Amino acid sequence: MSVTDELLANNAAYAAQFSGPLPLPPAKHVAVVACMDARIDVYRVLGLQEGEAHVIRNAGGVVTDDEIRSLAISQRLLGTREIILIHHTDCGMLTFTDDEFKRSIQDETGVKPSWSAEAFGDLEEDVRQSIGRITGNPFVPVKDSVRGFVFDVATGVLTEVRP
């Protein structure tokens, strides 16, 4: 039995006690951009209920064109007004460099990715970088509350990164 099949069986149990549907726009008007790290259950970490916030996640919790796309849709079409960025301690993105990663892919496949791997050496600096990519972008209209945090995987605590 694959893990996918096992998780589908879990879904049957979830659906059996499901009470929906909820409205499409996020009730708390907030969008979260977080790392894909398996240890960050964003809803639990922030005490969110279903229907309350958009949750955008990727390797590192970084901001690339795809996060700008998602945030533009979130704010312009679905009315979110605050943005919360979450990086975390013990992040895999701290363990390699773009050059190394892309070289290893090129050596194996013969092709070098045209994208940046977005590895980083300093957590707080990268949170500030992610904030800057949002505040400096013309397509995300609401920038009054764009705040960045580091989640400590040992304690569960979010600590704000000051500009």
Nearest distance from C-beta of residue 7 to a second copy, angstroms = 4
Cβ proximity to a second copy, 73 vs 132, nearer residue: 73
Q: Does 125 bind a second copy (CB under 8 A)?
A: no
Q: Which of residues 23-52 bind a second copy (CB under 8 A)?
A: 24-31, 36-41, 43-48, 50-52
State the nearest-atom distance from the C-beta of 100 to a second copy, in Å.
10
Go through 4-16 and write b for each residue having 16 or more CB atoms within 10 A of its CB, e for each that does not. eeeeeeeeeeeee
> Which of 128, 132, 143, 158 touches a second copy (CB under 8 A)?
158
Stretch 73-92 residues interacting with a second copy (CB under 8 A):
73-74, 76-78, 82, 84, 90, 92
The residue within the footprint of a second copy, chosen from 97, 99, 103, 104 (CB under 8 A), is 104
Sign, CA dihedral 90-63-39-30, equals positive
154: contact with a second copy by CB under 8 A: yes
Rounded to whole angstroms, how far apart are CA atoms 120 and 106?
A: 20
Are the C-beta atoms of residues 93 and 120 closer than 8 Å to each other?
yes
Binding of a second copy at residue 128 (CB under 8 A)?
no
- What single-letter DSSP state applies at residue 49? P
How many Cα atoms within 13 Å fall on the side-chain side of residue 104?
6
Residue 102 DSSP symbol? H
| Residue 146 beta carbon to a second copy: minimum distance, rounded to whole angstroms | 9
Would you say how long the chain is, in residues? Answer: 163
Which CB atom, from 64 or from 132, has the smaller least distance to a second copy?
A: 64
